[in-house]
Amino acid sequence: MNRIVRMAMAACLIAFGAISSAFAQAFPDRPIRLVVGGPPGASADFMARMMGDKLSKALGQPVVIENRPGAGGVLAAKAVATAKPDGYTLLMLFSDNIVVAPFLQKVLPYDPLKELIFVSAIGRSFPFILAVNPNLPVQTFDDYVRLAKSAPKRVSFSTYGLGSLPQLSFEIMSAKIGAELLHVPFKGGAESYQAAVAGNVDSVAGTSFIELLKSGRLRPLAVGGAKRSSNFPSLPTFAELGFGDSLFLGVTFGIAAPAGTPREIVDRLALELKSITQMPDVTERMPAVGIEPFYAGTEEFTGLMRAGINTFAPLIKSLGLAQ
């Protein structure tokens, strides 16, 4: 009897595998929805429209962009996490959406690692550059540290929002140097840059204010990560300054799907995206908006998101930022 049951179960599994394989081979047979957690014109929207156009040509079906801004990308991610896992609803994310935004809410709106599959990373912004108003009496990062340590909240910094990656990087840095900085959040990156230019705040970290730095309206002190900036090759990296290679790194852009999406479809999408990120017209367009080509497959991309969560979720909790 047991032998008959085992044979029946094996037959069912084989049949299910055949159905799954056939389903994946037929994918896609209708339009795909690509949800973006930001407004039209934002960096994620730019990436979504560029990738959507290329994916549409590669897959032979329209890729429809749906902008769903709000709550730091949580609304968009939640919509995708609860969608049918059939490959027809995808998320264009940037890492803030996954490693920061959900943990800013006291009740976790979704579990990123359990409810999403991170198909592949497709690009990343340039590392953040720490810069100051030129009138601040500092010329180097060491000067900045000395001034910051001279009195609590003596030095202020602006960011594009409460709980943003720049804020968390500033918080990590301030803890390491033993200084208390004053955070002044704004609603966007441009506003935070202008506040520093006007001298309303002392410092700021950004990726898209190169012209402000070149024109002398802001003074750069250090750049995130371990690779020196091609725009400012003499600028030290935070790795060189002893902070490791993960401080003030830029955001990572990528595509995610609902958990439970057939692996065959995930692999197909990842393969197409890998090819797209190597296209000359794609690699040439990204730097114009402060993004560099970067591809990571499903396992590596998942590891990057897990590492980010392990770094920032405890920090957000310790700072009491969840609301």
Record the pTM: 0.81
In one-letter notation, the amino acid at residue 103 is: F
Asked if residues 210 and 230 have their Cβ atoms less than 8 Å apart, the reply is no
Range of the domain at 140: 129-223
DSSP 60: T
Mark whether 101 and 141 lie in a shared domain.
no
Mark whether 58 and 115 lie in a shared domain.
yes
The answer as to whether 5 is a domain residue is no
The answer as to whether 243 is a domain residue is no
The answer as to whether 23 is a domain residue is no
Mark whether 116 and 159 lie in a shared domain.
no
DSSP 89: E
CATH no. for residue 141? 3.40.190.10
pLDDT confidence of residue 18: 45
Mark whether 115 and 80 lie in a shared domain.
yes
Q: Distance (Å, rounded) from C-alpha 233 to C-alpha 219?
A: 14
Q: How many CB atoms lie within 10 A of CB 87?
A: 22
pLDDT confidence of residue 156: 98
**From its phi and psi, is residue 231 left (phi > 0), alpha (psi between -120 and 50) or beta?**
alpha
pLDDT confidence of residue 50: 97
pLDDT confidence of residue 222: 98
pLDDT tens digits for 34-91? 999 888 888 889 999 999 999 999 999 999 999 998 888 899 999 999 999 999 999 9
- Strand locations in the chain (E): 32-36, 63-67, 89-94, 116-125, 129-132, 156-159, 182-185, 203-206, 219-223, 252-258, 291-296
- Domain count of the fold of the chain: 2
Q: Which residues in the chain show pLDDT less than 50?
A: 1, 15-16, 18-23
pLDDT confidence of residue 1: 45
Q: Where are the alpha helices (DSSP H) in 37-111?
A: 43-59, 74-81, 96-99
